[in-house]
Amino acid sequence: MGFGVLTFVTDEGIDPVELGRALEARGFESLFVAEHTHIPVDAKTPYPLGGPTPRKYHRTLDPFVALTAAAVATEKLVVGTGIALVPQRDPILTAKEVVSLDLVSKGRFRFGVGVGWLREEIANHGVDPSVRGRVADERLRAMIEIWTQEKAEFHGEFVNFDPIYSWPKPLTKPYPPLYVGGGPASFKRIARLNAGWIAMAPSAKVLGSQLEELRTVAGHDVPVINVHMGESTAKAVEGYRDIGVEHVLVELPTEPRDETLRQLDELQAEFVKLA
């Protein structure tokens, strides 16, 4: 079972180059970053964890830019989106960004995707939030066509293009590992796309029951990354190994350089116990 961090890379925190190098030097295996293009000022959609939307949500760097910076500064660090908001992304451009990062990172990119929760943010991209799941499904299927076909075309309700050339093709075959974020409502999407799951659970006990449902819907070989929402200690996460989780991410607060490095030292000292 591997370990990494999930964080919001912003203009107020440690830069992605130094963060990537610091993670690799301390033995962490991955860096996953969140995405928000913007936060509407008068949004009525409640923040899922309660209270006002945190400042870091307003200030995230583009995930592909941040991850490219981290990837070229490291040799082994896996980089991933946690998660890319597909209803807000043009599928042809995003397919190009994914394959470009796959090539630049030499196959170290993991494409975590989701449908998003902030309805006003989605609407500002010209998408009806009530159909964001269907939009995401079509855009992902269209990207897969672009990655795997010499002459790709797609004709759907929300995505429509005649045959196109789009190169380069992915270094990772058939395309970079795809992971869908969300709860049990995402399990059918995972099955349709033959994807992995990015879960968010505070403990192995909570995640275990959801894994049973996932495996019933999508099979027993679905790779799982869990964003651990509980205490960041070895004792708190060691149970994930027993239920077949391949990778655990702990949340890294968005802080300036010195504070971030101090927190990484503390995390390293804790998780070395599981090595």
Instruction: Note down the domain range covering 34.
Output: 2-274
- Using CA atoms, how far apart are residues 90 and 185, in angstroms rounded to an integer? 23
Summarised one tens digit per residue, pLDDT across range 134-177 is 999 999 999 999 999 999 999 999 999 999 999 999 999 999 99
- How many structural domains does the chain have? 1
pLDDT at 227: 96
Average pLDDT, 10 consecutive residues per value, the chain (275 residues): 96 98 96 98 94 96 98 98 98 98 98 98 98 97 98 98 98 98 94 96 91 94 94 88 92 97 94 71
pLDDT at 235: 86
pTM for the full predicted model: 0.96
pLDDT at 238: 87
pLDDT at 273: 67
Question: In this structure, what CATH number is given to the domain that contains residue 242?
Answer: 3.20.20.30
